[in-house]
Structure formats: structure tokens, C-alpha cells
Amino acid sequence: MTTATTSLDSTRTGFRAAVRRRGRRDLLKHLVLGVFVLLMLYPLIWMIVSSLKPDHLILTETGLIPSEVTFDNFVKGWNALNRPFTVFILNSLLVTVGSIIGNLFSCALTAFALARLEFRMRKVYLAITLVSVMLPLHVLVIPQYIFFSQLDLVNTYYPLLIPKFLATDAFFIYLMVQFIRTIPRDLDRAAWIDGSGPFRTFWYVILPLMRPALVTTTIFTFIWTWNDFFVPLIYLTSPKMFTVPVALNSMVSSESQTGVGMLFAMSLVSLLPVLIFFAVAQKHLIRGIATTGLK
């Protein structure tokens, strides 16, 4: 009896020691992760603090505790460029929503054709689509600009939206092709036996099952289009047409520090739609990536 009690006590002591060691390891892991989180968030925190400083203190006072706090940067930035910042937010929303609709429609149709329909050189077209992912954007900008300039579409939103309706984002095509391949072909055959054509099969059978891939496409398109600076800078010349990134660039004087505070303040305002959208769609994004196999 005494031996059994001693063995039980030693087992309990060993278990408690193991729990303590595991607790110390977990505490150390959380401390290390906390340090990395602070390092990752430091630029954002510094931008938030700098948006509350006068321009002359932003680059001379680098600490996170400002000696002088002002909200003038938000007031001035909101009415900069002789128009309220709401105009640029609405412009970005117009381009972003149009890009989302274009990508969802055109990329889904293209992916269905490449994944389900049988036609000559189908694999070649799919290979060309994948190769186009590797092309840098800057290689395509000059011929596209010449093309839209000859159509007199510069300083309009058409150059930003038309390519989205022509399935030019090969990444999303490949993502949807991979997802469609996981859908049983028996569903297609059943629809064809009932008399459905290719488009009707796509619209009523395949498209409703593509929700995870469509949600992933929507999220990535929103974030990439909202933050896009290069393409709108090339095509949009009128300030009233500017999207948010182009408007932010126009607030800063290249010869002085004037406008840096407004830039930081309006950058925070421009981040709000992305943060809200990402917070709402985070679960769908993770589920869509896991479902489509992008691990």
C-alpha cells in the first residue's frame, strides 16, 4: 500500500512539474510572439501617432509619445485638392466594385470552359493563361496604354474596368479551374441529360457550388484594386477622377515636408474600408483558400 501511494505521489509530482515546464514554454512563446507583433505593428502605430502631430514635428520627433497633438491634419486632408476626400473614396469604390463584378463573371466563365468543355487546344490555352501570370505588369502597360489612347479612353475608368471583364487576371482563372475540377462531373452529365446547354449548366449547377472560390476572388480583388496606385496613376489625369492612392500621392509636396501629416491622416481613413472588409470576410477568405487548395 505504501509503495502504491509513493508511486502515485511521484506520478503527481512529475505531472505537476511537466505542467509547469509546459506553462513556462508557452509563456516564452507568447512573449516572443508578442515582440514580433509589436515589431510588425510599429510602423502602423508610428503612422497613427504622426497623423496627430504638426508637420514640423513628424520627421524631427520620432518617438511614439507626441509633445503636441492636433487634429488639423484630418481637417485639412479631408478638404485637400479642392474637393472633399469623399470624392476619392467613391471613385475607388466605383473602380473596385466594377473590378469585382468583372472578375467574378469573366474569370468564372473562362475557368468553366477550361475545366469542363472539350475543344481543340484547351490545354494549350490553359498553359498560356498560366504563363501570363508570370508576365510583369509593366510589360503590358505600354501596349495597353497605346490601345486605350487610340480609343480616346484615357482619363476615364474604362481602361481600369474593361480588362476585368475580359478575364485578364489569370490567377483567379487558375484558382477557379482548380476548384471546378473538384466538383463531380456527374452533376454536369445529369444537367446535360435534362437538356441543359453549357451556359445553363454553368449558371445553375457549377456557379452555385463555386461560392468559396468566388468569395476568395472577391476579397483579393477588393484589396488589390483598392490599393492599386500604378495603373490609375497612368490613366487618370484629372483630380476629380483620382482614386484614393493617387489622391494621397498628390497631397505631398516633392520639395518640402508640407502635406506629410495630411498624408498620414488620410492614409488612416483609406485603411478603414479595407480593415472593415477584411474583418467581415476573414472567415470566408480562410475557408476559400483552404477549399481551393492554395496552401
The pLDDT, as a whole number, for residue 288 is 59
Please tell me the distance from the alpha carbon of residue 222 to that of residue 97, in angstroms, as a whole number. 8
This prediction has a pTM of 0.81
Q: Kindly indicate the confidence band of residue 255, based on its pLDDT and cuts at 50, 70 and 90.
A: very low
* Nearest one of 220, 77, 234, 40 to 145, comparing CA atoms: 234
Say which residue, 222 or 66, is predicted with more confidence: 222
pLDDT-derived band at 13 (thresholds 50, 70, 90) equals low
Helix (H) or strand (E) holding 177: helix 170-180
CB-based contact 259:253 (threshold 8 Å):
yes
Structure confidence by residue, pLDDT tens digits, 215-226:
889 988 998 999
Number of neighbours of residue 262 by Cβ within 10 angstroms: 24
What pLDDT sits at residue 254?
Answer: 44
The number of angstroms, rounded, from the C-alpha of 55 to the middle of its chain's C-alpha atoms is 31
pLDDT single digits (tens) 139-176: 888 899 999 999 999 999 999 999 999 988 889 998 89
Number of neighbouring beta carbons within 10 Å of residue 46: 15
Residue 129 has a pLDDT of: 85
Picking from 277, 223, 271, the residue whose alpha carbon sits closest to that of residue 44 is: 271
pLDDT of amino acid 293: 47
**What is the per-residue pLDDT for 97?**
94
DSSP structure class, residue 254: T
- Mean pLDDT value across the chain: 83
If you average pLDDT over each of 31-35, 127-131, 144-148, which comes out highest? 144-148
Using pLDDT thresholds of 50, 70 and 90, give the confidence band for residue 8. Answer: low
The single-letter DSSP state of residue 243 is -
Q: Is the CB of residue 73 less than 8 Å from the CB of residue 136?
A: no
Residue 41 has what pLDDT?
84
Q: Which residue has the cell 467581415?
A: 280
The Cα-based distances of 150 to 145, 154, 166, 197 in angstroms read 9, 9, 19, 39
259 touches 55 (CB < 8 A): yes
